[in-house]
Structure 1
Amino acid sequence: MIEITNFKHDNLSIKQWKMTENETWCVLGRNGSGKEYLDQLLTGELFDYSVDHFHLPKSNKVGIVSFEAQQVIYENELKMDATDFNDSNDIGTQAKNFLPQDNLTDPLIAQFGLEHKLESGYRQLSTGEGRKLLILQAILSGVDLLVCDNPFDSLDEASCDALSTILALLPQQNINVLLILSNRQDIPTWCQKVAFIERGQLDVIGEFDNEETKRQLDALLTPKPDNLEWPPSIKSLSDYEHPYIVKLTNGKVHYGGVNVFENLDVTIKPLQHTLITGKNGSGKSTLMQLITGDCTQCYSNDIEVLGFKRGSGESIWQLKEHMGIVSSEFHRQYRVKGELLTVVLSGFFDSVGLYQKPENYQIDIARKWLDMVGLLSCQHAMFQELSYGEQRLALIARALVKSPYLLILDEPTQGLDEINRHRVLNFLEILVQQKHSTLILVSHRKDEHLPIFTQHIRL
């Protein structure tokens, strides 16, 4: 299946790696470790290398599902959007058209929970649903090797279990499975062998259930303490004069005759840090968009946000001036080209891209936040050239630069390695001590359900 000896490229090197038929592997690596170059190697898109021995499956028999692949499809769908030229909303390519047309009744579709999504446009799918659709596309198209980059991110527990069960059975259909993961906790028990990649160097560690393998991974992934100065706050919640940060009464959102949720009451007081959980499709992200004003049905709801009654003449910018937002939806919409530093600075102006000249103190704060997330050395790199996880870290820094009254974090650690994920969670605990932001966290990961959250809303 895969045999590589002494492979050398400017961004990737492999001394020895052999994957035999029906084996299941995991390549574990941190953000920016070079995992994307491994994807390029497997699809025949990596050139100018030297190698002693080399055997890979044919590129058309390799299916790769990653955040980057999803972003490419999403952007292509936006380019084809004809809504402005038609009288009706253009939903784009329907989910069923991503699948072989003679397999539209395959039982795997129901096992993936996508049988009711086949008529939906790709842009209407959640990040998790889009990823499951691409995995299903690869399986039904007859690949020999399925490569999944963090496939369990943003999926609820039941969906993770269902996907894991399907992937575990693929070797019986002569499909090899290679998982590229950022967190050890996501390695399924059926995974047989583990490799580790760091700074573009891929090394085979060994059998997953071997104690020596676990010891080596512990040594490689033990976080070092951050001894950084916490960036200054530019506003204080003591200036906030209203009894509620969010107040939603009898909330309802529906699309196409289907209720996302109804009869929902939510109250969040200043510093009442709130955790929101629920199955995929239960309306968590929709609720966040209702709060931010990105859901147009906010004007048909009785909702008060940051002291503003929605529909009372306030502008969306008056609200977002006091919000920091991190979400998968915002991430995939941040497509403006620019340096990493300008992306973080745009958080001061609530813009996608930077169109105003920042003050020196804002530049200083932005650089300090880049240092906090370990990306200061990349401040002049182009945002689009960074890995998905590095982009997510930058967007977290962007949300934090202005010390927002309300910090909305919808699956913020998606795509982050375990060290950066714990770093971000540590930021949240420090923010709570600072007492200038009220947090709303949407998360499926139980280890992110921190004691700082004094209210838990289950949808």
Structure 2
Amino acid sequence: MIDTVRNALVLLEDVSVRLHGEVLFQNISFEVKTGEHWAVIGNQEKGRSALLETIAGHLPVVSGNVTYPFLSQFQLNNPVQSPPTSWQKPVSLVSSRHNFSSLSGTETLFYQQRYNASAADDAPTVEEHLANVRPFTDTPVWTIERAVAALDLHPLLSKRLIKLSNGETRRVLLAAALLRNPAILLLENPLVGLDVRSRQYFIQLVSTITESGITVIMTTSPDEIPDAITHVAVWKEGQALRTMPRHAFEGSETATEQEQDKPDVKEIKTLLADHTPPAFEVIVGMEDVSVRYGNKTVLNNINWQVRQGERWALVGHNGAGKSTLLSLINGDNPQAYANKVILFDRRRGSGESIWDIKRHIGFVSPELFQYFPGGQTCEEVVESGFYDSVGLHRERDPLKRERVLRWMKLLQVEELAWKVFRNVSVSNQRLCLLARALVKNPALLILDEPCQGFASAQQRHFRSLIDTICASSNITLIYVSHYQHEIPESVTKVMQMEQGKAFVL
């Protein structure tokens, strides 16, 4: 036991954690020794996230002990930045959500701010954000220059945080975590939202991080474990946390998932029959559309026509311009007025309001997930889809509530109806936002990376649900994904974006 403690960085002994009256995990023991790097996998999603939060010191421990045997020596070695009187532990956590603040420090950033020029100016640039990061060590290994180079952030330094794509945001979050030069780096599903090239680069980057002396503990899927990981913890629902060396995991059974139930086709058809969207000829029409921010051209002469009933895949690397293109369609970006954009047979700027546009659209995106407020119940979040509001701000409607619960059941989250949105797992939050997009039977369904963070069985179930909806209605679909296996079979057309340009394949 003496040697174990001496070599341990983190030691959890019979730890139980409770938050908002809910037990997140109970009687868990977990040890990380010097030289070890861990991947935590399995379908115990809330437990896995809570484990990282507990190691970071963000959650209340109701029983058991969490100790950091290395801490006193670390503080002796770094008396300026991490003196013995400091309450902070040299641990950095990169979670699924960011906590960016405005320059004034008076508010957190909000979703509509991305496309409001005056409001966006209150968001820091990437360079300003990184310049404010304080390291834990007196002699940092990860400097701004090294972090910016390692994560290819030079082109983003002058960009406002609110303007970043999902993949760009994750790179900035990781850079900020590295600039703190922690002893332990905690990563929650770090590969989610990254395109193929970025994922491959990240796997190599993890090796560079571990070689710099930082211990990495990450949650991920069984088939996305970086080479630098030495140990694996498997945590499945209803089972204890099992730990093993990497080689033992690779020689054992992996996280085999049970096939989820197929969607209820009859129920889907009944719900779709309750409300038929109006008929249109052109859902989206763009002619030589360009979007610029200062000297930066984000979209360059886009020509695209989407007719009712067509199903499109929109593909391209992180930062290619996909989110900006979708913001023109969803009514969020005022630069639509300066371009020739037709939505639902009407030219933008011809007298329609933003709500006239949004009432025909069901929409979900990583950015909406990032900024969606968490204080309401999951049921209220889904019902807000009827009104295209970010949260429910009116009295509940009993008839709409019945429809909400039916869609939640189709997405297998009906038991979460009365749970507070922020308190459910990340994948369940995403499923609730998907139900929000579907609940009003929109003419156009825009799904921007809808399967982020889903297990394989969840992905298959959702793809089957979308294919059933498409087979049973004249819905128009725009589906964004970095991965071919995530795209539903009902998709028959593809547009690829690259550096702000678009090519129909």
Matched ranges for 1:170-209 at <5 A: 170-181=209-220, 183-199=221-237, 203-209=241-247
Matched ranges for 1:244-393 at <5 A: 244-335=282-373, 337-393=375-431
Shift, 1:439, TM fit? 0.9
Equivalence for 1:90: 121
Instruction: Note closer, same or farther for the CA distance 1:303–1:439 as it changes in structure 2 (3 Å cut).
Output: same
- 8 Å Cα contact 2:285/2:341 also seen in 1: yes
* SS of structure 1 residue aligned to 2:217: strand
Structure with bigger RCO (C-alpha 8 Å, 6+ apart): 1
Instruction: Note closer, same or farther for the CA distance 1:125–1:189 as it changes in structure 2 (3 Å cut).
Output: same
Distance 2:238 2:89 in 1: 24
Instruction: Note closer, same or farther for the CA distance 1:410–1:227 as it changes in structure 2 (3 Å cut).
Output: closer
Distance 1:366 1:50 in 2: 38
- 8 Å Cα contact 2:308/2:474 also seen in 1: no
Q: Deviations over 1:120-160 (max 9, x none)?
A: 33222223222222211222221111111111111111222
| Higher mean C-alpha deviation, range 94-103 or range 318-327 | 94-103
Equivalence for 1:127: 166
| Higher mean C-alpha deviation, range 348-357 or range 274-283 | 348-357
- 8 Å Cα contact 1:248/1:267 also seen in 2: yes
Q: Deviations over 1:16-39 (max 9, x none)?
A: 433222222111243753233212
How many pairs were matched up? Answer: 450
Given the alignment of the two structures, is residue 30 of structure 1 paired with residue 61 of structure 2, yes or no?
no
Instruction: Note closer, same or farther for the CA distance 1:187–1:359 as it changes in structure 2 (3 Å cut).
Output: same
Q: Deviations over 1:297-356 (max 9, x none)?
A: 111111111222111111111111111000122223322632211111111121223244
Equivalence for 2:267: 230
- 8 Å Cα contact 1:243/1:269 also seen in 2: yes
Which consecutive residues of structure 2, in runs of 5 or more, have no partner in the other structure? Answer: 1-8, 18-22, 72-87, 133-139, 498-505
Given the alignment of the two structures, is residue 436 of structure 1 paired with residue 467 of structure 2, yes or no?
no
Distance 2:50 2:118 in 1: 43
Instruction: Note closer, same or farther for the CA distance 1:139–1:353 as it changes in structure 2 (3 Å cut).
Output: closer
- 8 Å Cα contact 1:145/1:175 also seen in 2: yes
Distance 2:144 2:93 in 1: 23
- 8 Å Cα contact 2:49/2:219 also seen in 1: no
Distance 1:33 1:341 in 2: 19
Distance 2:374 2:217 in 1: 32
Shift, 1:90, TM fit? 2.4
TM-score normalised by structure 1 residue count: 0.89
Shift, 1:80, TM fit? 6.5
Matched ranges for 1:98-109 at <5 A: 98-99=129-130, 106-109=145-148
Instruction: Note closer, same or farther for the CA distance 1:5–1:255 as it changes in structure 2 (3 Å cut).
Output: same
Shift, 1:53, TM fit? 8.1
TM-score normalised by structure 2 residue count: 0.81
* Amino acid paired to 1:4: L
Distance 1:17 1:310 in 2: 57
Given the alignment of the two structures, is residue 149 of structure 1 paired with residue 188 of structure 2, yes or no?
yes
Equivalence for 1:39: 52
Given the alignment of the two structures, is residue 8 of structure 1 paired with residue 16 of structure 2, yes or no?
yes
| Higher mean C-alpha deviation, range 269-278 or range 91-100 | 91-100
Identity among equivalent positions (%) equals 26
| Higher mean C-alpha deviation, range 130-139 or range 314-323 | 130-139
Distance 2:254 2:317 in 1: 35
* Amino acid paired to 1:106: E
* SS of structure 2 residue aligned to 1:186: coil
